[in-house]
Amino acid sequence: MDFILLIIAFRFLQTHAQTKELYPEWQSLFLKALIAACCFLTIQIVFESTDGIMKWVAHCINLYVVYAAYNRKVFEPLKPFVYAFFPVVLVHVLQDLTRLVAPSFYDSWDSLFNTAAIFGWIWLVAQFIISRKQRKALEVERIKAIQKEIEFKNSQKRKDALEIQVAERTAEITAQKESLEKTLQELKAMQSQLIQSEKMASLGELTAGIAHEIQNPLNFVTNFSELNKELLDELKVELEKGDLEEIKLLLGDLEANEDKILHHGKRADAIVKGMLQHSRSSSGVKEATDINELADEYLRLSYHGLRAKDKSFNATMETDFDDSIGMAEVVQQEIGRVILNLVNNAFYAVSEKKKQLENLNDTALSNKYKPTVWLKTKRIVGGIEIVVRDNGTGMPEGVKDKIFQPFFTTKPTGLGTGLGLSLSYDIVKAHGGELTVASQIGKVEEGEESWTEFNIFIAD
């Protein structure tokens, strides 16, 4: 079997198209090796007494071929063929070596060696099949390459004919391209700067609100910690007295206080995590979110942020949350940014309306006006609706038509980038929803009502 394997290997290498074309000088070497393998096989068949010796001669030749392919640089191109034959060679060598050194072990694992030999031959056949397919594929590619070369020559002729015309226009197109690229880079840099400015502005307002909001749970943690310290002092006294009933009462109070400290500590942690999430770039991954809780949190944070910047600012917040909404799959950070932008604009509008009334020097009219922002959520057919409404200055039709355009703003220079509503519109669109606006303007001096209402629809 080992010499048969050698005959197959050398015959395969001799007749293989790759070795014929690339290494014709090897043909005589393969032929001599093939004749030698046939002679050894004949000797093995005729002289059965030398079967064991010839078998190991075959093993040595096989192993040397493998060694030469891996260690002789001249035979390096034959490595892929050795990969096909090596498992069979290795299995037969190990099989005969085990039979010679440990016959009892070989007898107990005979079936395993036979199975390994079968798999080795299957591997060899599979490699032959793969090699055949690869040769066919290479032949197809060779034909395609020839066809492409012909086509290339034809196209080269046409190219030469058009080269003069192309050269004349190249300079003009290159100049236009460089000019456009420079303009595009400037626009991208400006856009990135403005978007970052918008994000930092909203983050600043959010941070101011969080500073106020986080103070409440921290105060609770501090107060209950001080109370627990007093209770521990009392507990020490009662322990010395041995009053078990009083000790149980004190321990109950300590446990209740610890629960409150834990609750408010988690609340402070949630606020900090919310701020960190808002400041990071969005991952774009939707997650189950309590829309009512999200809307309420950003409403309060926006209000406290404005109050931190302007102590005179004051407004009424009214909420109407639909409990049937439950959890919704949204990108929490992005929807929170949309709500924050809309609520910030609403508070700005009522603040401007209040200033306009104060400038009229009409105390009665100014006192009658109550700046109010409404935030409402509702479950509707096909999705969720979030409404932000204010009784501020309102906006004319011309402004409503442009309000979602990038860089358009009605705020004075330095107070707005014109990207808040544009980004909000894109975020809602990305959620498969719609952001719309309705508004009405009344005459300020006559006390007529003005309002603006933004409606966010998010599809389920």
Q: Do residue 240 and residue 298 come from a single domain?
A: no
Better-predicted residue by pLDDT, 357 or 408: 357
CA triplet 406, 410, 412: central angle to 5 degrees? 110
Q: What is the pLDDT of residue 24?
A: 64
pLDDT tens for 144-200 read: 888 888 888 888 888 888 888 878 888 888 888 888 888 888 877 776 766 666 566
454 - beta bridge partners?
388, 437
Cα distance from N-terminal residue to C-terminal residue, the chain: 70
Q: Are 296 and 203 contained in the same domain?
A: no
Q: What is the CATH number of the domain that holds 338?
A: 3.30.565.10
Strand partners, 437: 454
Same domain, 266 and 294: no
SS3 413: coil
Q: What is the arithmetic mean of pLDDT over 210-219?
A: 69
pLDDT at 243 over 50: yes
Count of CB atoms within 10 A of residue 212's CB? 15
Predicted local confidence at residue 205, as pLDDT: 55
Q: Which amino acid is at 196?
A: Q
- For position 50, what pLDDT does the model report? 45
- 68 versus 423: which is more confidently predicted? 423
Instruction: Write down the pLDDT at residue 194.
Output: 65
Length of the chain measured in residues: 460
Domain final residue pick, 279, 302, 325:
279
Query: How many structural domains comprise the chain?
Result: 3
Same domain, 213 and 305: no
In a domain, 371, yes or no: yes
CA–CA dist 307, 203 (Å, integer): 15
Does residue 221 form part of some domain? yes
Note down the domain range covering 99: 2-108
Percentage of the chain exceeding pLDDT 70: 68
Assess whether pLDDT exceeds 50 at residue 214: yes
Answer yes or no: do 381 and 244 share one domain: no
Cα distances (Å, whole numbers) of residue 260 to 215, 223, 231, 263, 415: 15, 10, 15, 5, 41
What's the whole-number average pLDDT of the chain? 77
Residue 178: inside a domain: no
Distance CA 39, CA 85 (A): 21
Is 166 domain-assigned?
Answer: no
Considering the domain architecture, whether residues 236 and 312 belong to the same structural domain is answered as no
**C-beta atoms surrounding 392 within 10 Å:** 25
What local confidence, expressed as pLDDT, does residue 170 receive? Answer: 85
Same domain, 67 and 207: no
Alpha helices (H) along 47-109: 51-71, 79-101, 103-108
Pair 340, 402 in one domain: yes
Among 108, 124, 159, the domain-final residue is 108
Residue 355 lies in a domain: yes
pLDDT tens across 446-459, in order? 667 889 999 999 98
Q: Three-state DSSP class for 371?
A: coil
Residue 402 banded pLDDT, cuts 50, 70, 90: confident
Q: In this structure, are 310 and 264 located in the same domain?
A: no
Considering the domain architecture, whether residues 323 and 453 belong to the same structural domain is answered as: yes
Among the listed residues 400, 302, 286, 312, the one whose alpha carbon sits nearest the alpha carbon of residue 346? 302
Please check whether residues 298 and 390 belong to one and the same domain.
Answer: yes
Residues 211 and 232 in one domain: yes
Closest by CA to 436, choosing from 401, 406, 391, is 401
